[in-house]
Amino acid sequence: MNTIYDTDVLIIGSEGAGTRAAIAAAKQGASVLIVTKGRIGKSGATLMAAADISVDGASIFDVLGLSVGNSKDSPQIFLEDILRAGKFINNLPLAEKIVEAAPIRVKEMMAWGMKIRGVMQCPGHRYPRGVSTTGREIVRVLNKQLRSVDLTVKEYTFVIDLLTTGNSVIGAIGLDLRTGEFAVFRARAVILATGGGSMLYPIQTGAVELTGDGYAMALRAGARLVDFEMIQFMPLCLIGPLPYRGSYFPFSLVAESVDSLDGWLLNRRGERFMRRWDPELLEKTTRDKLSAAIGYEVKHGRGTPNGGIYLSLAHLPRNILDDFANRTLKLHLKKNWRFEGFDFSFIRDILSRGEALEVGPACHFFVGGIDVDLDCQTSLPGLFAAGEVVGGLHGANRLSGNACMEILVAGEMAGRKAAEYAKQANGSVVDQSQIDEIVTEAQAPLERKGSHTTFMVKKKIQERAWGKVGPIRDGQELEGALASLKELTHEHHQSGLTCKDRVYNPEWIQVLQNRNLLILLEAIIQCALAREESRGVHYRIDWPQQIEKWRCNLVVELTASGLEIYPRNPIE
Ligand SMILES: Cc1cc2nc3c(=O)[nH]c(=O)nc-3n(C[C@H](O)[C@H](O)[C@H](O)COP(=O)(O)OP(=O)(O)OC[C@H]3O[C@@H](n4cnc5c(N)ncnc54)[C@H](O)[C@@H]3O)c2cc1C
């Protein structure tokens, strides 16, 4: 017998977007239940953010009351920058709404006690707009606020699928990882705030919970995704020394930022290859170009032994490096080279010896995602979505600071609108056969004698993702990758568990996650194959130019015959 929970608004995901939505929904008088795979305030990407939150420069001055604002900037100019970065396939009305509400939401966070460290300017932003704080601070303030409203939180519960009646969403089923039992959540409205899917890739900056479950659940329930080929890679993460592989470090302040040190990226021949990719901005270009350029060098055998590229400051006198770390980097990096509590002084030592660092792209952010309207409602009645799980705002590329802006603004909108929806929704009866079907499929790996291990299947999925839909893509290779998915799916269906325990069984969790990762991989491959051009974060070796006829969104739906991809004009 499964435990049954009843609520007006069910929120899946407990971090930036999820908690902000919960506060808004509870303030509307709705009963709210947050369900999260990890621990509240400790799972997902929000905690890890650096974190800058974008607000247009004029509002930084007028609304936030910070003297570092710039009255030459405006919401309109900010919007233009978002569209330019997104290569004009953004959801314009959604972007307008988010940019407009950003100052109000950030001011509210400041009123709730969020500490600000300053305002920074990142590439692609024509003015300083990054209101700088930390992910820890965002989480701390939201959780403090959460305690002032009445709601329930259920932690360590992996939501497996949504429950539907007709095409409306009326709840979800989760696996309580601590008991191994299933829980049925009956709700009048559901908000997906499950974040991105960076664990699809072997090198990533995100958290272990981020296996893209929200996208997969949404597709299975009948919702649409947009622009799923658009995956952002953080270009300058540590690739070596190996224990630090994938570590996110503020290299944006060494090589990528407008007022950073003049760091050089070199291939194994010592060539400063960015001259070929962006002769004007070189290493200070945007993340998409850096990631594609590095991916290209590595693919053509010009990378470092560990598959990265060299970042060198050897041309600079040592005291410039020290002075810079002491003054300019202080927003993120402490004098003793501690970053987010971790000791990165070995980087200073490597650079001081005149040696180069091995850096390279790591999967950072899912730019595309669930298709929503201006109320954060998906194409399915009763299903809302907010945060990184949503697509549209960023178009083909995201500017720094815009994700934290999105979680606060869209989180609030989704919570408010879901509560309003719940007030007028009739409670629907959940069909027991639907529950039985989901539970039977989820339990199957416990019962079968498998011929493949779940971790090996995960490794193969990640390798395929990195090789075929990483920072650079190629049509022929994409076709091959698509064809080979059949075999990988077969291996997934044959994967068994060496340990049959139901309680916190990592193999069981992995097999359930692999089911979702496989859908993600197929959707990305299909979209990347369909888009025969390069645009934003999507770079095709065989189609290196941006082509006007592709100024459109790619929509993904799951039909009885599989994934269907079709173009749609951008919403203007
Ligand atoms: C290292 C790093 C630095 C960043 N820095 C910045 C920055 O400076 N500025 C900026 O704008 N953006 C930044 N970003 C991006 C930004 O932090 C994220 O996009 C944003 O925080 C996502 O918030 P979210 O609430 O949508 O999802 P997350 O914070 O990722 O939370 C997802 C939640 O969903 C839960 N969940 C997932 N699947 C399930 C499931 N099946 N069942 C139940 N629960 C589930 C997770 O447990 C978690 O609670 C950064 C990202 C990273 C990784």
Is ligand 1 within 6 A of the CB of residue 408?
A: no
Is ligand 1 within 6 A of the CB of residue 407?
A: yes
- Asked if pLDDT for residue 73 goes beyond 90, the answer is yes
Quote the pLDDT of residue 242: 81
CA of 36 to the centre of ligand 1 (A): 12
Atom of ligand 1 nearest to the CA of 14: 49
Mean pLDDT of 414-437: 94
Is ligand 1 within 6 A of the CB of residue 205?
A: yes
CA of 35 to the centre of ligand 1 (A): 15
pTM: 0.96
Dump pLDDT digits (tens) for 468-504. Answer: 999 999 999 999 999 999 999 999 999 999 999 999 9
CA of 513 to the centre of ligand 1 (A): 17
In 3D space, the residue among 274, 194, 275, 276 whose CA is nearest the CA of residue 235 turns out to be: 274
* Cα angle 184, 225, 43; round to 5: 55
Quote the pLDDT of residue 190: 98
Residue spans per domain, the chain = 235-362, 432-566
3-class SS of residue 474: coil
In 3D space, the residue among 319, 385, 317 whose CA is nearest the CA of residue 9 turns out to be: 385
Instruction: Write out the CATH class of domain 235-362.
Output: alpha beta
* Sign, CA torsion 421/423/426/428: positive
Is ligand 1 within 6 A of the CB of residue 402?
A: yes
> What is the Cα–Cα distance from 283 to 377, expressed in whole angstroms?
39
Is ligand 1 within 6 A of the CB of residue 216?
A: no
Percent of the chain, pLDDT > 70? 96
- Asked if pLDDT for residue 222 goes beyond 70, the answer is yes
CA of 506 to the centre of ligand 1 (A): 21
Of 154, 209, 333, best ligand 1 pocket probe by most atoms within 8 Å of the beta carbon: 209
State whether CATH 3.10.450.40 applies to domain 432-566: no
Atom of ligand 1 nearest to the CA of 40: 49
CA of 365 to the centre of ligand 1 (A): 9
Question: How many of the other CB atoms lie within 10 Å of CB of 547?
Answer: 12
Mean pLDDT of 249-262: 64
Is ligand 1 within 6 A of the CB of residue 517?
A: no
Quote the pLDDT of residue 255: 61
- Asked if pLDDT for residue 367 goes beyond 80, the answer is yes
Quote the pLDDT of residue 325: 67
Atom of ligand 1 nearest to the CA of 198: 53
Q: Are the C-beta atoms of residues 265 and 276 closer than 8 Å to each other?
A: no
CA of 526 to the centre of ligand 1 (A): 25
- Asked if pLDDT for residue 564 goes beyond 60, the answer is yes
Element at 511 (helix H, strand E): helix 506-530
Dump pLDDT digits (tens) for 31-71. Answer: 999 999 999 999 999 999 988 999 999 999 999 999 888 89
Dump pLDDT digits (tens) for 229-245. Answer: 999 999 989 998 887 88
Of 137, 194, 201, 517, best ligand 1 pocket probe by most atoms within 8 Å of the beta carbon: 194
Is ligand 1 within 6 A of the CB of residue 133?
A: no
CA of 266 to the centre of ligand 1 (A): 32
Question: Confidence class of residue 327 from pLDDT cuts 50, 70 and 90?
Answer: low
Dump pLDDT digits (tens) for 520-546. Answer: 999 999 999 999 999 999 999 999 999
Question: Confidence class of residue 165 from pLDDT cuts 50, 70 and 90?
Answer: very high
Quote the pLDDT of residue 240: 81
Dump pLDDT digits (tens) for 117-134. Answer: 889 888 889 999 999 999
